[in-house]
Structure 1
């Protein structure tokens, strides 16, 4: 767990709510992450499509990553994968793009969550049926699928994510655990000791204040804290993961107004240093 990945939004300079791609040049972002100490970067499907429209080829993107020593690539994020109609058609196009990104850029996992719509109208049984089919399509492309519990979705906690992963019967399905979401749903990190470490396909580090600012979506998108700066017990979280044998790289996902306001190099540097301090503390126990 000593390698750190800089998640897309940590240095994108844009909010997920804006539904847009980063305005910062791709090579500048990769360079800033490498200089900060990161061993990998994240790419969002919207950002990838914008980069391709700008004229950058897969070969150029991959060469940029290699040239700056990026050993890990994280690709995200699939929404509405359970939907029918126009939303479902858009999601299937994004799904295909994510499969292609994984193949072209050397990623091993794509990730998603449940129904984010108010009231979460999609039934869990229908969600499970759709998820099993999605995993089958991903398996044909050699891609694993990580389920990220999202605090206000109908896959909002560890139990729901496990139910989806294990209920699907898919060998390429697993968990993608984000500290902010687990903390906001009150998870006792000790419960992770009962999770087979092989099911944990990815981990995202960040932090949270003791009290929610605004609603959960606002707190998630505008007020996350650097790892170690909040009340979520980031080092305790990492220590339990190390104890159960999780060995993969950790992704640093700091999404906040404060992070977006930082210059690119500073955003990469402060997020890396904060996460590194948390990991070093956890692994020294």
Structure 2
């Protein structure tokens, strides 16, 4: 039986260069056109945009329609948007979030985005699960009007620190276009086993990310996640087991490649795109072979 070929997305940080998402000045120094072309030359099927880069592009006179045409010409047919936070908040935080949400949906319409990443709450806010689920349902309902999937990332240093708590939220929300983004780094650092992913119903897995790392954490968890990830196959994570578990769960969507490390950020753009794709592609092939098993 023919199987759908698994596809790889160059997530926004894979082509961003020497900038970090946790720093205030986190806009890429490389032009979006150059990054799109580098991802396409490397062999990627999709491209991820940081919302801040998109806003800077538009405010600098760029046109989202022209950007969409570049993606099409480059053969990049999967678009990811990153990210929306505080979708559950009140007051000024919610006002800022709603402004970002409007821009995100505007970009999604123009670029034909597949999914958008959203962040869980942080800082021990102790928000009731029913409250979060209601806000998530509302967000997904609005996103559905833009043909957009909403993928909440499970992050071990957030208020939803493991697969079980993150899954509880999306189960309660029960939105057809809403679910989880599962990053192998977060699964391992949460203390979970990659095999646990097989127990997540496939309908609740909306996006996936690959990277590698040492099993032993280096520094704090924040330092480890931002500075010490490795190219796929160059660390100690069981990536084969991870994609196998996703296949057993029924996931057959694209795989994002997200390499956050000091060494990777120092690479020239074309080398970063090529090396990240070449390292992840063998695991992409495994994913294609296990989907639906």
Same fold, judged at TM 0.5 (above): yes
Distance 1:77 1:39 in 2: 20
Summarize the alignment of residues 1-285 of structure 1 with structure 2, pairs less than 5 Å apart: 1-13=5-17, 14-19=19-24, 20-117=26-123, 119-280=124-285
Note the C-alpha offset of 1:94. Answer: 0.8
Instruction: Tell me whether 189-198 or 39-48 shows the greater mean CA deviation.
Output: 189-198
Note the C-alpha offset of 1:109. Answer: 1.4
Deviations 1:84-120 (Å, cap 9, x if unpaired)? 1211111111111111221111112112121123x34
Distance 2:131 2:249 in 1: 32
Note the C-alpha offset of 1:281. Answer: 5.0
Deviations 1:202-229 (Å, cap 9, x if unpaired)? 1101112111122212211111111112
Note the C-alpha offset of 1:24. Answer: 0.1
SS in 1 for 2:47: strand
Distance 2:201 2:129 in 1: 23
Unaligned runs of 5+ in 1: none
Distance 2:229 2:99 in 1: 30
Do the aligned partners of 1:228 and 1:235 also contact (CA within 8 Å) in 2?
no
Distance 2:105 2:160 in 1: 22
Distance 1:210 1:244 in 2: 24
SS in 1 for 2:179: strand
Deviations 1:121-177 (Å, cap 9, x if unpaired)? 444343223222222222233322111101100122111111110111322211111
Aligned residues: 284
CA RMSD of aligned residues (A): 1.8
TM-score where L is the length of structure 2: 0.91
Instruction: Tell me whether 108-117 or 173-182 shows the greater mean CA deviation.
Output: 108-117
SS in 1 for 2:61: coil
Do the aligned partners of 2:117 and 2:181 also contact (CA within 8 Å) in 1?
yes
SS in 2 for 1:128: helix
Instruction: Tell me whether 208-217 or 129-138 shows the greater mean CA deviation.
Output: 129-138
Distance 1:128 1:214 in 2: 34
Do the aligned partners of 2:40 and 2:74 also contact (CA within 8 Å) in 1?
yes
Deviations 1:63-95 (Å, cap 9, x if unpaired)? 111111101111111112222121111111111
Do the aligned partners of 1:120 and 1:153 also contact (CA within 8 Å) in 2?
no
